[in-house]
């Protein structure tokens, strides 16, 4: 099995740097065999969520692996996420249901999947996340898909109440969103929040003809010649994410590809010129695939514009990206680059 790499969170908790994600193609699907395969290959971080509607089968996959091996539960890092609570439910109630589905006593990391329906109440909800950590239901807590304004609202509450800073922020992150996410990365650095990236392979899987393509192909070819190993563009993007100090959440149904992902830490790091070349190429295009509800929505009230964005979002991905860029131009958030 390939050597695993880890990230240390601000409380010292070690997180495997590569996670198998059970969203995307596994939404509302039986994920047992895919989760089991990922663990058998050597991945030790499983990422799931309430909204994926497959936590029961994810738990089945984890349970099957633990039953067939001598690997202890403590060696498998499990991340899941809160999406929404029914009337009268607390965050703790939701997590307890998720733990029951996952057949676990605790999760290692519990993330708030998206805050949009709770804007103006983010601090109050975050206190409930702090409570699940105190209860021992989650070893650490974090966030996902927060915009700059959301982060500022949350961190203001944390400072006011001497609360817990999110340990991790998971968001769509790849070269085509680097420029867009720079204000968020600045906040991460200021508060020691660990970046977790999903969608990191999008320049290969969803935008194969973009400006990054030629750059990563050239780097892969050069590294293959230098190392006498088979270095592909997947590896190059994983090394770029590594250079950005990100936990990587990815997925594949193919055993060979999962094994290939695990080889990345053993390959040479990208040099500064390679990282810069990918950054520059990525800045030439704004391209988002996964939009949580509607990342271009205003933090204040403008029904006409919200309706306009909703129509665009429901049509096609390219229009969705155009909508997001228009929001930026209009400075509808605290920063023209926030989301």
Among 52, 180, 198, 297, the one annotated catalytic: 52
Opening angle at CA 186, ends 313 and 291, nearest 5: 15
Of the candidates 157, 155, 136, 158, the one whose C-alpha atom is nearest the C-alpha of residue 146 is: 155
Q: Are 300 and 318 in contact (CB under 8 A)?
A: no
Q: Is 78 helix (H, G, I), strand (E, B) or coil?
A: strand
- Alpha carbon distance 339, 328 (integer Å): 8
Cβ burial of 145 (10 Å; 0-12, 13-18, 19+) is buried
Of the candidates 86, 134, 89, the one whose C-alpha atom is nearest the C-alpha of residue 110 is: 134
**Token reading at 313:** 């979002």
Q: Is 282 helix (H, G, I), strand (E, B) or coil?
A: helix
Report which secondary-structure segment, H or E, holds 21. strand 18-21
Which residue reads 């995307």 in tokens?
24
Q: Helix/strand/coil (H, E, C) string of 153-200?
A: HHHHHHHHHCCCCCCEEEEECCHHHHHHHHHHHHHHHHHCCEEEEECC
- Alpha carbon distance 30, 317 (integer Å): 27
Asked if 52 is an active-site residue, the reply is yes
Which residues are marked as active site? 52
């Amino acid at each position: 099995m390939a050597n695993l790499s880890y990230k240390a969170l601000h409380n010292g908790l070690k997180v495997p740097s590569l996670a198998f994600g059970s969203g995307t193609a596994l939404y509302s699907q039986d994920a047992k065999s895919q989760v089991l395969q990922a663990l058998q290959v050597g991945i030790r971080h499983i990422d799931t969520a309430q909204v994926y509607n497959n936590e029961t089968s994810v738990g089945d996959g984890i349970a099957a692996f633990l039953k067939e091996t001598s690997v202890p539960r403590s060696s498998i890092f499990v991340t899941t996420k809160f999406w929404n609570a029914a009337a009268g439910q607390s965050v703790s109630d939701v997590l307890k249901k998720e733990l029951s589905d996952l057949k676990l006593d605790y999760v290692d990391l519990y993330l708030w999947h998206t805050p949009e329906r709770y804007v103006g109440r983010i601090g109050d909800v975050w206190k409930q996340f702090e409570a699940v950590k105190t209860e021992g239901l989650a070893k650490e807590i974090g966030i996902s898909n927060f915009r700059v304004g959301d982060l500022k609202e949350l961190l203001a509450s944390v400072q006011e109440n001497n609360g817990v800073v999110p340990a991790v922020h998971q968001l769509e992150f790849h070269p085509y969103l680097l420029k867009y996410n720079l204000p968020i990365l600045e906040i991460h650095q200021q508060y020691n929040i660990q970046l977790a990236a999903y969608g990191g392979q999008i320049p290969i899987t969803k935008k194969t003809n973009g400006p990054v393509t030629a750059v990563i192909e050239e780097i892969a070819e050069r590294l293959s010649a230098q190392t006498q190993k088979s270095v592909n563009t997947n590896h190059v993007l994983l090394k770029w994410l590594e250079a950005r100090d990100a936990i990587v959440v990815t997925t594949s149904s193919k055993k060979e590809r999962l094994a290939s992902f695990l080889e990345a830490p053993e390959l040479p790091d990208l040099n500064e010129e390679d990282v810069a070349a990918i950054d520059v190429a990525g800045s030439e295009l704004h391209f988002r695939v996964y939009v949580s509800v509607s990342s271009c929505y205003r933090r204040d009230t403008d029904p006409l514009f919200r309706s306009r964005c909703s129509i665009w979002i429901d049509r096609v991905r390219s229009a969705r990206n155009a909508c997001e860029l228009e929001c930026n131009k209009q400075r509808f958030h605290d920063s023209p680059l926030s989301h």
